[in-house]
Amino acid sequence: MDRSQVDALAAQLSVFGSVRVKPMFGAWLAYVDEVPAAILGRGELYLKLGALSTSELVALCGNAEQPYDGSKGYARVDPACFANPDWVAQVKVARAAAPPRKPAKKPARPRKLLS
């Protein structure tokens, strides 16, 4: 997937908020408002909709194909779906219903050595 394809898919994701993309693990990870939102790889867009069940993903996206084994909450999305305002509204609702991100843990305090 070349950078022009990534930029085109990132532009479509901008309907959900501020987007930035970062190369990661042989694909691209797209962040929307600094939250991981999609994987761009193998010429496909996989949208993260973590609050939805597999059956809800199929109903919304037409499939529940995962970007890699073991990934959860992602579904392959046809970029043409972004032209449908009803679909975009449903995805916004699903993204808003996703559980909040856990705050980052504070680093552990260094242990004192006994002398």
Q: Tell me the pLDDT tens digit for each residue of 76-89.
A: 888 788 888 887 88
With respect to residue 114, please indicate whether it lies within any of the assigned structural domains. no
Mean pLDDT to the nearest integer, 43-61: 74
With respect to residue 47, please indicate whether it lies within any of the assigned structural domains. yes
Kindly indicate the confidence band of residue 109, based on its pLDDT and cuts at 50, 70 and 90: confident
Residue span of the structural domain in which 54 resides? 3-97
With respect to residue 77, please indicate whether it lies within any of the assigned structural domains. yes
CA pair distance 20, 10, nearest whole angstrom: 7
Per the structure, how many domains does the chain have?
1
Query: What's the 3-state SS for the chain?
Result: CCHHHHHHHHHHHHHHCCEEEEEECCEEEEEECCEEEEEEECCEEEEECCCCCHHHHHHHHCCCCCCCCCCCCEEEECHHHHHCHHHHHHHHHHHHHCCCCCCCCCCCCCCCCCC
With respect to residue 112, please indicate whether it lies within any of the assigned structural domains. no
The pTM is what? Answer: 0.71
With respect to residue 55, please indicate whether it lies within any of the assigned structural domains. yes
Q: Tell me the pLDDT tens digit for each residue of 7-46.
A: 888 888 888 888 999 998 888 999 888 888 888 888 888 8
Give the pair of three-digit tokens for residue 39: 């994987």
With respect to residue 103, please indicate whether it lies within any of the assigned structural domains. no
* CATH number, domain with residue 65: 3.30.1460.30
With respect to residue 67, please indicate whether it lies within any of the assigned structural domains. yes
With respect to residue 105, please indicate whether it lies within any of the assigned structural domains. no
Q: Which amino acid is at 5?
A: Q
